[in-house]
Structure 1
């Protein structure tokens, strides 16, 4: 499978990879199609239809904003989060969109942004875009499915093998030295070639980058820079979270910990406070539409940065090579979830997002602590096994409650999973492959109201207490 490290770790903006990053990329793909067909200049207006979870929680996840920004030519990996809201408001208030940043068209938000609350397409996250000429004739339309983690596929690609659907040609699969489809295959390759999971993942990435390892390292380092900057910004920022008006808590918690540094010497559990803080700071930034790394999704974006920050700040001997190994190992584990199950909360509940991230972080931490490949697999399996059945029930359709705290809890759980695995020799009863399959089947068994629709769970029963 020729998935890339940078398919699993994408730079984007909050609050959701499937509801924000994906729809913005869909807008970009639609633009590219219009350009390739030579019809962009003849378009008079566009119409966007949101279906399933994209409709039900679309406004809370800023799906409408993301789709329009994508059509206006903005990309999630380089758009300025501070100007995104203004650009969206300008389109809504003026009724004019500069399609692709180059061609003014009419856009009436109330008429042309349509939320199909009662209709679901082939995937719970569906989006259709129509382009019409001055006579109102539709000159082009396309259906997109946002499958989690910022991945977008057209509806006619949905049932193809993941390699084809996600844009990786078969020749790229044959070009990598160590193709794998399952954890069992991954372990076998590592043992046969006497390499670590990180070494395998980086060797494949080098092949995907035409042998340019410096480029790979630079991109991996940039991923960590964005994660670290997100943590640090989240520790500084104060005020309210959007829509809910809940107070941000990370900055206050940071001040409390900094005011009593000697507590670290007396209370060993204070490290847990720091790890929780790192995760919450990222997810508060995500909730505010800040720049984050999908890891593997935005809703779970705080877990891997928090555990990686734990490694860099609290583990003796941590270095940049360890950071690279951590990210590469986590990505390889994330690929297993993407290939064999899902990382979409709309498809399988929060176990697919927070559970996958917890698993990735646990395996990666075990790797940089010197665990063998079987201990790495064991840590990843433990990280998922104890998130099985987790619902996705965001209150108000916002990636705030229970999402922010849930990231902090999962970061701690990932470290615990690693410590459990490192106390053993790698032999364990439940394989990572079987755990991944169980997660997916459990997700399919969940009632739809517990899969990112905000129509069940905490989103219903806790709403009066938690959201203003």
Structure 2
């Protein structure tokens, strides 16, 4: 199994979906790279794109066509000013000309040249094929977006990451591997993970990237809590984080996300207020995500609110002295737990339903919070197992194919469950546990394989058909 870095599990990108937005965006970038390596890019005279399966069925609601367009345009999802997205899309649509990778002009009309095919390719539900005409010949290449922004090709065996094959000091495929290393080395989970990460990056690079991830999370929560109105897409979903935040924050002045964090520490902390703060943080992130904002996939865009909400809870409620050292440990543990789920099951809702998104993110957050509480590595695994156990079988049934209903609320519920799971784990003797984490991961995968395809991000079952879109 190829090593999956914490930074593979926690990516910065544009919403609303890691598999349906960020993945196709990255696939377009990979295709451009292919064309250049084959010395074909300069001779391309026309382009067409075929979307298959889930990418097609919920592609409009997930802005898949816009993501493909922006990827072909050569924009970077980590750095593009989000306010420029409508401008770029409108310009290409109006002129019917694509500035291909911002290097050459190619005729392109999105409504004609991005084709939504409802049939599924056999390898994975999220298929995308790019076609280029070069010297009157068609050159085609197919990619698969497998969740969390990961993109693979069918014939590739090590395509999940760009990391060179190396011998890592602590190769981890299962939870038991990680626990064994913690025991033999007498180290915390975060310490084991950090030692692996240092084979890929210098320590200062790891810290810088973790700071950037947390900064993006904090700014996302801040933006969501300070933006009112309705979400795009036609469902007319009203943003709720703003109203909740207004009631909770009181009259304390602040002038930046960092200052905001400090001021929240001074607010009332009765149970109901704490409960609402956690929900507010999670809702805020996923409202930003639903409006093509910048979030951190954790491990996906659809579940991006759980981890920042739980980490923010620890910093503003549990430990007012918490600083970057705590943030670093939390993100290292969360990332590693997510990678174990990805290796043993899936983080793609198109493959496993919402248990693969909210369930995994809740498990990641629960385990990470437990380490910050002072829990043992065994208790960390207990927390992750508890959180996932109570998301088993959760379907993915977005109304209108939009990552809004029920997705946004599910982040709030996933965050609350993560905190509850951590508290339960801290009061649990791991020797008494009946269901180990590896067993719940394998059970999740078996559940995913048995789940009807209607409940796997196709909008063909569940609430997606049970609620009349016209009545929304």
Same fold? TM cut 0.5: yes
Higher mean displacement: 121-130 or 7-16: 121-130
The structural deviation recorded for 1:465 is 7.4
Cross-structure match for 2:152: 153
Higher mean displacement: 445-454 or 118-127: 118-127
The structural deviation recorded for 1:246 is 1.7
RMSD: 1.7
Cross-structure match for 1:220: 210
Higher mean displacement: 425-434 or 353-362: 425-434
Cross-structure match for 2:404: 400
The structural deviation recorded for 1:371 is 0.3
Cross-structure match for 2:305: 302
Distance in 2, Cα, partners of 1:266 & 1:146: 42
Cross-structure match for 1:410: 414
Pair 402,128 (structure 1): closer, same or farther in 2 beyond 3 Å: same
Pairing of 1:254-293 with structure 2 (within 5 A)? 254-259=245-250, 265=268, 267-293=270-296
Corresponding residue SS for 2:151: strand
Higher mean displacement: 20-29 or 68-77: 68-77
Cross-structure match for 2:462: 457
Distance in 2, Cα, partners of 1:312 & 1:387: 26
| Residue 217 of structure 2 is aligned to residue 239 of structure 1 | no
Q: Which runs of 5+ in 1 are unaligned?
A: none
Distance in 2, Cα, partners of 1:448 & 1:287: 24
Pair 127,179 (structure 1): closer, same or farther in 2 beyond 3 Å: same
The structural deviation recorded for 1:207 is 1.2
Corresponding residue SS for 1:97: strand
Cross-structure match for 2:366: 362
Tell me if structure 1 keeps the 8 A contact 2:4–2:161.
no
| Residue 112 of structure 2 is aligned to residue 111 of structure 1 | yes
The structural deviation recorded for 1:339 is 0.9
After TM superposition, the runs of 4+ consecutive aligned structure 1 residues lying more than 4 A away are 260-266
TM-score when normalising by structure 1: 0.94
What's the CA shift string for 1:2-28, capped at 9, x where partnerless?
111110000000000000000000000
What's the CA shift string for 1:192-215, capped at 9, x where partnerless?
001111011111111111xx1011
Tell me if structure 1 keeps the 8 A contact 2:65–2:110.
no
Corresponding residue SS for 1:390: coil
| Count of residues paired in the alignment | 456
Match of 2:315 among 305, 312, 317: 312
Match of 1:423 among 427, 440, 458: 427
Distance in 2, Cα, partners of 1:274 & 1:79: 30
Distance in 2, Cα, partners of 1:326 & 1:258: 25
Distance in 1, Cα, partners of 2:221 & 2:162: 32
Tell me if structure 2 keeps the 8 A contact 1:363–1:379.
yes
Cross-structure match for 1:51: 52
Higher mean displacement: 242-251 or 321-330: 242-251
Pair 89,178 (structure 1): closer, same or farther in 2 beyond 3 Å: same
Corresponding residue SS for 1:48: strand
Tell me if structure 2 keeps the 8 A contact 1:42–1:133.
yes
Distance in 1, Cα, partners of 2:13 & 2:269: 39
The structural deviation recorded for 1:258 is 2.1
Distance in 2, Cα, partners of 1:277 & 1:465: 28
Distance in 1, Cα, partners of 2:312 & 2:111: 44
Distance in 1, Cα, partners of 2:163 & 2:232: 40
Distance in 2, Cα, partners of 1:99 & 1:71: 6
Corresponding residue SS for 1:281: helix
Cross-structure match for 1:325: 329
